[in-house]
Amino acid sequence: MPQEKPHHPIALKTTPYWDARSHIPNGALIAFRNGGVLGWNERTHVTHIATSLWREGDQATLLLAESREGHGGRLVTLSSQVRAYPGAIDVYLPTLGCPLPLQERAATIACNWAGYAYRYRGLLEMGLLEMPLLRWLLRYNPDTTDMTLSAWDAAKVCSQFHIWAYRWAKRELRMEDVDWDPVPGIGDMWVKPGDLVRSGSYHLAFPGLVPRD
């Protein structure tokens, strides 16, 4: 008898995109469950992370700043991704400990960095963390608690990009004394998608976005 695939409770719930759209702020954590490279060993089945931001002008547009395999840094509309991955995108909002100015600045930084279209490396290094035997054979044992902030022009994977934008914004705004952090205790270059949704720094607001019929 074939073994059932792991069940994900969020997958049973959906939210119409147009019902959620106006309630999604700058700096929200957008989590994908679409079978991407980083999700193969994730207990949460989260495979990709992006950061929400609004382009205000003659027509308000809800964008995602992301760093995606095969593309690097880029900006796309959230609605286009909902159409591409219906029911597989969840929206998490920062908990109350996150100041609004920090959310706003993190979204701006994410937008600016993604606009440079930096391509990333590092998928192999992140994958090695999930393979203890191979890590031992290669004598690969990085200090994942090193909180040194990655440089602006350093390559970043999707989850690293999100947490880096918040930490960079915190430094710019001189908010180092703010206790809130996306994933306490892990350096930005080692943060995986599942770490963000499990950290307790976000709460699930809109599960399973689906397009309007």
- The domain limits of the chain are 9-210
- CA dist 14 and 195 (Å) reads 22
List the pLDDT tens digit at each of the 213 positions of the chain.
Answer: 444 344 455 556 899 999 999 999 999 999 999 765 444 444 558 999 999 999 987 789 999 999 887 677 899 999 999 999 999 999 999 999 999 999 999 999 999 998 765 555 555 555 545 555 544 455 556 656 777 898 888 888 889 999 999 999 999 999 999 999 999 999 888 898 999 999 999 999 999 999 976
- The architecture in CATH of the region 9-210 reads Alpha-Beta Complex (3.90)
What are the angstrom distances between the C-alpha of 77 and each of 3, 138, 148, 158, 194?
37, 41, 31, 16, 23
pTM above 0.95, yes or no: no
Residue with tokens 């931001």: 53
pLDDT computed for residue 5 by the predictor: 43
Q: What are phi and psi of 23, to 5 degrees?
A: -100, 5
Residue 154 tokens read as: 């350093």
pLDDT of residue 29: 98
Distance CA(136)–CA(58), nearest Å, equals: 56
